[in-house]
Amino acid sequence: MNAYPLLFTPSYHQRIWGGTRLRTLFGYPIPDKQTGEAWVISDHPHGRSAIQNGVYRGKTIHDLLRLHPDWFAPRRLERFPLLVKLLDAHDHLSVQVHPDDRYAYEHEGEWGKAECWYVIHAEPGAEIVCGHTAQTRQELAERMAAGEWDKLLVRTPVRAGDFFYIPHGTLHALGKGIVVLEIQQNSDATYRAYDYGRVDAAGKKRELHVEKVLQVTNVPDVPAKVEPVTRESDYLLVTHYLSCPYFTVEKWRLSGTRDERSRECFLLMSVLSGSARLEWGGGELALRAGDHLLLPRKLGSYRLSGELEAIVSYPPNQAASMQKAG
């Protein structure tokens, strides 16, 4: 079976802080008015996204890792490494932290969760929590116990087009009025520090994980630096945001026709705006905003034609388009 680009149907997740912007922005058939997350490229057991095109329609990445391991990497992957989501923060998310791989393996039986955000939409005045001011773990514990969240948390204003990296151990939260594309390790390990005293539909407060938060939070906090680098060649403007041990993330802005070739590992593409035609040896696809696809490493040569903006992510240690440009 020849490799072909895989389009996905999202897995939707209701959240206490969710809303309806995923329908407004992308026309998704969200299931309710509190749809907080769409897991758009996912092989996590808490919400796998289904392939929607070609002979493997209805199958999952999990299935194809078994059937065609060479579509993904030179060596068989024990588990798909990345997870891509859209998050609609109609209300504030809980203040939370994610563990590193060592801690997560020991306590949760899965990977840690480093992640990054590309801001798609932000209401005026919107902000995120990213970091804290405590200088010792004792100070962190005391301020949390006293509920001194305004003194403890570092808040940053955001606008559409901003990019943030959230390493393991970073206290963080999306504020209300924000929609982001999130690229992360394939993990659901999350520890809540603060949830604004909210109750769910049953009148119950959501669980907090204070002890684990105190164990895994980086103290003192060291802000992650993101230094975008942009280069242009052959109708493609590439902004390289991040290369870390878990993923590389770029923004591609296509204005015309660009010939590319698949890499030593798979590539993930999330179309944010515009439209384009993707052609390869075995066929073609029309791409539009809200599409999310995986380009297998065995795809070979392909061509993109149109006007399109997309976030592209892939495992580390691959040659980026911006490095090939020119």
Catalytic residue of the set 21, 192, 258, 297: 192
Query: Counting Cβ atoms within 10 Å, is residue 107 exposed (0-12), middle (13-18) or buried (19+)?
Result: middle
The yes-or-no answer on residue 263 being catalytic is: no
Task: Find out whether 294 and 233 touch, Cβ atoms under 8 Å.
Answer: no
Q: How many Å from the N-terminal Cα to the C-terminal Cα in the chain?
A: 34
Joined tokens for residue 94? 């809980």
Looking at the DSSP bridge assignments, the partners of residue 270 are 292, 311
> By C-alpha distance, which of 284, 282, 233, 266 is closest to 84?
266
Joined tokens for residue 221? 């906090």
The catalytic site residues sit at 192
